[in-house]
Amino acid sequence: MQESCPSVKNILLLDSEGRRVAVKYYADDWPTHAAKLAFEKSVFTKTQKTNARTEAEITMFDGYIIVYKFVQDLHFFITGGDNENELILATVLQGIFDAVGLILRNNVEKRAALENLDLILLCLDEIVDGGIILETESSVIAGKTASDCMDGMSSLSEQVISLTLAKLYILKYFYRNKYNKYI
């Protein structure tokens, strides 16, 4: 149908035991809940022993290409079709990985992800729409997700600045100045 448009079949965010943190399926390749779980299980077991912490890794099975990256107790997976350009999938993976890092203020682990599940889900929603890549730039994704706190801000650059992360730095800087003054 859309054979020529790069597409993502699913995004999986699993914990260190292969349980779901957040998942999103865009293709009908796994029609039932059981089929989805079976796929997640085989993806998890096949990649479990690999070291995908510094660089994203890749594997291929059952006619799917899967790029993945791990951090702490979180495992990120992006699945694409057999003929998909691996590097496009890797770009999507990098986008979501970095965006989650920004949202969770670099404290990327399962507990933080669950506590901020609303933001994680919004983030998934902003990166791919029905299988079509919507955005790959992590700062923009995180910006769109977090922009909620700043009503009325419209331009993208403003949204990026509005990141809580950025705010934190400003606060830190502010306090340090204040502290210096007292000394």
Partner 1 sequence: MAQPLGKKDDDQEDEEYSPFLGIEKGAVLQEARVFNDPQLDARRCSQVITKLLYLLNQGENFTKVEATEVFFSVTKLFQSKDTVLRRMVYLIIKELSPSADEVIIVTSSLMKDMNSKTDMYRANAIRVLCRIIDGTLLTQIERYLKQAIVDKNPVVASAALVSGIHLLQTNPEIVKRWSNEVQEAIQSRAALVQFHALALLHQIRQNDRLAVSKLVASLTKGSVRSPLAQCLLIRYTSQVIRDSSTNIQTGERPLSDYLETCLRHKTDMVTIEAARAITEFSGVTSRELNPAITALQLFLSSSKPVVRFAAVRTLNKVAMTHPLAVTNCNIDMESLISDQNRSIATLAITTLLKTGNESSIDRLMKQISNFMSDIADEFKIVVVEAIRSLCLKFPLKHRSLMNFLSNILREEGGFEYKKAIIDSIVTLIRDIPEAKETGLFHLCEFIEDCEFTYLSTQVLHFLGNEGPKSSEPSKYIRYIYNRVILENATVRAAAVSTLAKFGSMVESLKPRIFVLLRRCLFDSDDEVRDRATLYLNTLEWNGSGGETDKGVKEFLFGALDVPLVNLEASLQNYESSEEPFDISTVTKEVKSQSLTEKKVPGKKPPTLGLSANGPTSPFRAYENLLSSIPEFNNFGQLFKSSAPIELTDAETEYAVNVVKHIYNGHVVFQYNCTNTVPELLLENVTVMVDNFDVEEFEEVASKSLKALPYDSPAQIFVAFKKSDGLLATGKFSNTLNFIYKEVDTTTGEAEEEGIEDQYELEDLEVVPADYMLGVSLLNFKNSWESMGPDFERIDEYGLGVRESLAVAVSAVIDILGMKPCEGTEVVPNNARSHTCLLSGVFLGDVKVLVRLSFGIDGPKQVAMKLAVRSEDAAISDKIHEIVANS
Residues that bind partner 1 (CB under 8 A): 1-2, 4-6, 20, 22-23, 33, 36-37, 46, 50-51, 55-61, 67, 85-91, 110-111, 114-115, 117-118, 121-122, 125, 129-130, 132-136, 144, 147-149, 151-152, 154, 156
For the bound state, the minimum distance from the C-beta of residue 170 to partner 1, rounded and expressed in Å, comes to 21
Side-chain-facing half-sphere of 28: CA atoms under 13 Å: 1
Long-range CB pairs of 173-178 (<8 Å, 24+ gap) are none
Q: Which is nearer to partner 1, 105 or 111 (CB)?
A: 111
Q: Which is nearer to partner 1, 135 or 182 (CB)?
A: 135
Phi-psi region of 61 (alpha: psi -120 to 50; beta: other; left: phi over 0): beta
Give strand pairing partners of 65: 60, 80
For the bound state, the minimum distance from the C-beta of residue 6 to partner 1, rounded and expressed in Å, comes to 7
**Number of neighbours of residue 118 by Cβ within 10 angstroms:** 10
Q: Tell me, what amino acid is at 114?
A: L
Q: Which is nearer to partner 1, 111 or 176 (CB)?
A: 111
For the bound state, the minimum distance from the C-beta of residue 161 to partner 1, rounded and expressed in Å, comes to 15
Instruction: Say how far apart CA 5 and CA 7 lie, in whole Å.
Output: 6
For the bound state, the minimum distance from the C-beta of residue 169 to partner 1, rounded and expressed in Å, comes to 22
